[in-house]
């Protein structure tokens, strides 16, 4: 999994925001397939997000009320909308539950962070693209550790695509 999370990290470091985000959005589906290959893409993506990332998007208010502002369904809707249509508006996605739109921003100058801002009136979630990608990397890393003692999952991980180094010539296997 490291080759994929490294690709996200490198894209973020190179300020390749679209590349980083698009790779990051595929990770829950990839991890979900490795863990539960019989589930469909929607089910496994939502389940993986709920297990490994949803808690990051729960806020406890001053009244001790817990509010979820990014659920697996909306994450999956974003994934579909962005990867298949190039859009951040998820209003027409069937899986959508809470949000209507995502608003991604680049890191502000200095050490400022503008991340996880939820406008409940317009149902828009503002995310700082680098922070969001790093959250996905952390979740994938935690998932990988959790899966390290599962031989069937490890076997599927080992069968993932590898881009081979051709510096010593191209070899076909």
pLDDT digits (tens, 9 = 90+) for 25-37: 999 999 999 999 9
- Please state the domain count of the chain: 1
> In angstroms, rounded to a whole number, what is the distance separating the alpha carbons of residues 29 and 140?
11
Backbone angles phi, psi at 113, to 5 degrees: -130, 130
Mean pLDDT of the chain: 89
Task: Examine residue 93 and state whether it is found in any structural domain, yes or no.
Answer: yes
Residue 172 lies in a domain: no
pTM of the model: 0.89
Q: Is residue 165 part of a domain?
A: no
Structural domain contains residue 43: yes
Residue 172 has pLDDT above 70, yes or no: no
pLDDT at 58 over 80: yes
pLDDT, residue 47, reads 96
Q: How far apart are alpha carbons 154 and 173 in whole angstroms? A: 22
Q: Which residue has the higher pLDDT, 68 or 137?
A: 137
Residue range of the domain that includes 118:
2-158
Angle separating helix axes 17-35 and 41-52, nearest 10 degrees? 100
- Helix or strand holding residue 80 (H, E): helix 72-85
Q: Which carries the bigger pLDDT value, residue 70 or residue 87? A: 70
| H and E: helices and strands count for the chain | 6, 5
Domain-embedded: residue 164:
no
Give the model's confidence band at 131: pLDDT under 50 very low, under 70 low, under 90 confident, else very high.
Answer: very high
Residue 169, in any domain of the structure: no
Is the residue at 50 inside a domain? Answer: yes
> What is the pLDDT at residue 113?
84
pLDDT score for 68? 82
Bridge pairing between strands 58-60 and 124-128: unpaired
- Which residues, 6+ apart, have CB-to-CB distance to 136 below 8 Å? 8, 24, 25, 27, 28, 53
What confidence score (pLDDT) does residue 48 get? 97
**Is 55 among the domain residues?**
yes
pLDDT band at 59 (very low <50, low <70, confident <90, very high): confident
pLDDT computed for residue 31 by the predictor:
97
Is the pLDDT at 171 greater than 80, yes or no?
Answer: no
Q: Is the pLDDT of residue 20 over 80?
A: yes
Average pLDDT over residues 94-100: 71
């Amino acid at each position: 999994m490291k080759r994929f999370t490294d690709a996200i990290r490198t894209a973020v470091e190179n300020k390749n925001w679209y590349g980083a985000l698009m790779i990051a959005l595929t990770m829950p589906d990839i991890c979900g397939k490795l863990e539960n290959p019989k589930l469909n893409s929607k089910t496994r993506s939502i389940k993986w997000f709920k297990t490994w990332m949803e808690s990051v998007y729960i806020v406890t208010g001053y009244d001790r009320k817990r509010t979820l502002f990014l659920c697996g369904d909306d994450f999956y809707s974003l994934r579909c909308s962005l990867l298949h249509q190039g859009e951040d508006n998820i209003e027409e996605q069937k899986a959508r539950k809470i949000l209507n739109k995502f608003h991604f921003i680049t890191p502000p100058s200095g050490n400022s962070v503008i991340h996880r801002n939820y406008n409940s009136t317009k149902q828009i979630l503002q995310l700082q693209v680098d922070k969001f990608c790093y959250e996905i990397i952390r979740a994938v890393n935690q998932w990988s550790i959790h899966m390290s003692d599962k031989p069937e999952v490890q076997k599927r991980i080992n069968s993932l695509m590898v881009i081979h180094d051709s510096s010593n010539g191209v070899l076909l296997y």
